């Protein structure tokens, strides 16, 4: 073989050797590290979880909630009030009076039960043949052997006579006449919430004592009525009413109450008729102002409030649902106990008459005596 042939054979041999080495290296790398994983596209993002469907409401409340319109808030110190109106027309027909109106006109007679009276029961009679009487849970009845508060909403049809469940809100008296008058006050919202949460008589007495002590209005009989009507307390409540009531739009059928320190709604009252709503509004404002305006010794930052707060509260009610419960008078009772809410009310036929609802966490009035100042809101509390 010539020298040229040897050089040519050596060249091909080198190339073959290089190919073998490269192949071996590739095999080693594949064996050591494994094949590269195929590139897969990112899975699409899941859509946000839809909120759960609303729990069914009793028909009259469901129809009512769908028609509500929220108005601009009114404010006084820590308290904000959102009036509400209804789209369209329709509500309980005929003539309707509140308990205070009916007692003042002599058509609603309230007495102790025969046989010496019974702490948890009173007798109510509507003596008018043409008027329905609405008595709201939490209204205070003055007189009898001791002052009481009504435990449930009651509708008295013309001529109807019923026994109604009550709680005593005057622990240290059991004497007097059989008849009752209108006290003109509601229990404060903190006591109303305790009633809706199932409080017994002992809890109610304790709450009344706490409230009177917080307001500096203790009295010999432990009367809630006397505590709320003590001069410094009554003057401050009147100032709050003068600030808020004239600004409420005509035709309002309900009110959502909000805590401006917390920036959230704390309760709401909804009526099927605007005359009932406006008739009970002053007492409702007092019931919330006791806890949210007349407090002393609790500092906080007042937050701006808008209708989003009220919308959020209404949505909670919609998703909470409601169910039937008993009522001592005409119509059908309504209750709600879910989504952190406690509510009660009553309807008549296809129409809502009243539904009240509160958030479950409790607002406690601090045990600090107010400094009496005539004609003013508590010092340091801004009134707008």
pLDDT tens for the chain, 384 residues: list them.
444 444 444 454 444 444 444 444 444 434 443 444 454 554 444 444 455 556 799 999 999 999 999 999 999 999 999 999 999 878 999 999 999 999 999 999 999 999 888 999 999 999 999 999 999 999 999 999 999 999 999 999 999 999 999 999 999 999 999 999 999 999 999 999 999 999 999 999 999 999 999 999 999 999 999 999 999 999 999 999 999 999 999 999 999 999 999 999 999 999 999 999 999 999 999 999 999 998 654 667 888 889 999 999 999 999 999 999 999 999 999 999 999 999 999 999 999 999 999 999 754 444 444 444 444 433 333 333
User: Is 373 contained in some domain?
Assistant: no
Domain contains 39: no
Tokens coding 58: 């009793």
The verdict on residue 258 lying in a domain is yes
Residue 208, CA distances (Å) to 112, 190, 230, 329 in order: 22, 10, 14, 27
In a domain, 26, yes or no: no
Q: How many CB atoms lie within 10 A of CB 255?
A: 25
Residues pairing with 143 in the sheet: 180
Q: Would 371 be classed as within a structural domain?
A: no
E runs forming strands in the chain: 68-70, 74-76, 79-86, 95-98, 108-112, 121-126, 131-135, 139-143, 148-150, 154-156, 161-168, 180-186, 254-259, 264-271, 323-325, 332-338, 341-348, 351-359
Instruction: Answer whether residue 35 is part of any domain.
Output: no
* Alpha-helical runs (H) found in 130-222: 189-196, 201-215
Residue at 69 is within a domain = yes
Structural domains in the chain (count): 1
Residue-range definition of the domain harbouring residue 303: 59-359
pTM, rounded to two decimals = 0.80
Contact 356, 268 (CB under 8 A): yes
Which H, E and C letters describe 261-326, residue by residue? Answer: CCCEEEEEEEECCHHHHHHHHHHHHHHHHHHHCCCCCCCCCCCCCCHHHHHHHHHHHHHHCCEEEC
Residue 12 inside a domain? The answer is: no
Torsion of CA 271, 274, 276, 278, to 10 degrees: 110
Evaluate whether 152 touches 162 at the Cβ level (below 8 Å).
no
């Amino acid at each position: 073989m010539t020298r040229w042939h040897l050089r040519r054979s050596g060249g091909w041999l080198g190339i073959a050797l290089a190919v073998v080495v490269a192949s071996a290296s590739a095999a080693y790398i594949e064996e050591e590290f494994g094949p590269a994983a195929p590139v897969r596209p990112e899975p699409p993002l899941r859509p946000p979880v839809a909120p759960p469907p609303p729990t069914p409401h009793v028909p009259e409340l469901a129809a009512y909630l769908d028609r509500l319109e929220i108005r601009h808030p009114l404010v006084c110190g820590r308290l904000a009030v959102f009036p509400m109106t209804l789209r369209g027309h329709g509500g309980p027909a005929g003539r309707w009076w509140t308990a205070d109106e009916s007692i003042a006109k002599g058509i609603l007679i309230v007495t102790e039960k025969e046989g010496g009276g019974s702490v948890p029961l009173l007798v109510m009679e509507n003596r008018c043949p043409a008027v329905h009487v609405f008595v709201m849970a939490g209204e205070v009845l003055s007189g009898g052997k001791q002052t009481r508060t009504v435990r449930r909403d009651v509708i008295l049809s013309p001529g109807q006579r019923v026994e109604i469940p009550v709680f005593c809100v005057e622990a240290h008296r059991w004497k007097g006449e059989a008849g009752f008058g209108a006290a003109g006050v509601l229990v404060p919202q903190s006591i109303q919430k305790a009633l809706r949460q199932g409080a017994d008589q002992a809890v109610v007495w304790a709450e009344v004592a706490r409230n009177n002590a917080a307001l500096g209005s203790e009295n010999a009989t432990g009367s809630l009525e006397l505590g709320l009507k003590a001069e410094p307390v009554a003057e401050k409540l009147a100032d709050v009413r003068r600030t808020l009531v004239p600004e409420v739009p005509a035709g309002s059928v309900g009110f959502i109450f909000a805590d401006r320190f917390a920036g959230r709604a704390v309760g709401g009252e909804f009526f099927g008729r605007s005359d009932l709503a406006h008739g009970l509004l002053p007492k409702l404002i007092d019931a919330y102002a006791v806890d949210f305006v007349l407090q002393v010794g609790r500092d906080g930052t007042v937050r701006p409030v808008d209708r989003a707060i009220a919308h959020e509260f209404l949505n909670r009610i919609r998703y909470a649902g409601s169910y039937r419960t008993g009522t001592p008078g005409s119509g059908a009772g309504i209750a709600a106990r879910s989504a952190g809410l406690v509510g009660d009310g009553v309807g008549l036929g296809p129409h809502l008459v009243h539904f009240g609802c509160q958030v479950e966490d409790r607002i406690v009035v601090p045990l600090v005596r107010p400094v009496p100042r005539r004609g003013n809101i508590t010092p340091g509390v801004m009134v707008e």
